[in-house]
Amino acid sequence: MFEAFELSERYRQVLTIVVEDYIRHAEPVGSRTVSKRLRPPLSPATVRNIMADLEELGFLTQPHVSAGRIPTEEGFRYYVENLLEAEPLPENIRERIELAFASEEIEDLSELLRLASKLLTQMTGFPSVVSAPKIGTERLLKIDFVFLGRGLVLVVAVTEGGIVVNRLLKVPRSVTQKSLERLAEYLNYKLPRLTLEEARDELLKEIEAERKFLEKLFAELEEEEKEKTEPIVEGLSKLLDIPEFKDVNRLKELLAAFEEKNIFLKVIERCLGSHGVQVLIGSETGLGSPRNLSAVASPYGKNHPMGGLAVIGPIRMDYSKVVPVVDYTSKIVSHLLDKFIPRT
Helices (H), 125-247: 177-190, 196-206, 211-222, 226-229
Instruction: Label residue 4 by pLDDT band (50, 70, 90).
Output: very low
Rounded to an integer, what distance in angstroms lies between the CA atom of residue 319 and that of residue 243?
18
pTM reported for the whole predicted model: 0.70
Instruction: Label residue 330 by pLDDT band (50, 70, 90).
Output: very high
Instruction: Label residue 206 by pLDDT band (50, 70, 90).
Output: low
Kindly state the average pLDDT of the residues 269-274.
Answer: 80
Instruction: Label residue 222 by pLDDT band (50, 70, 90).
Output: low
List the domains of the chain with CATH numbers.
9-83 (1.10.10.10), 91-133+230-340 (3.30.450.40), 135-223 (3.30.390.60)
pLDDT tens by residue, 20-40:
999 999 899 999 999 999 988
Look at 83 and 214; give whichever has higher pLDDT: 83
Look at 232 and 251; give whichever has higher pLDDT: 232
Q: Is the pLDDT of residue 234 over 70?
A: yes
For residue 91, with 0-12 CB atoms within 10 Å meaning exposed, 13-18 middle and 19 or more buried, which class applies?
A: exposed
Instruction: Label residue 256 by pLDDT band (50, 70, 90).
Output: low
For the stretch 12-34, what's the b/e string if a residue is b when 16 or more beta carbons lie within 10 angstroms of its beta carbon? ebbbbbbbbbbbeeeebbbbebb
When the pLDDT of each residue in the chain is averaged and rounded to a whole number, the result is 82
Rounded to an integer, what distance in angstroms lies between the CA atom of residue 228 and that of residue 300?
17
Instruction: Label residue 283 by pLDDT band (50, 70, 90).
Output: confident
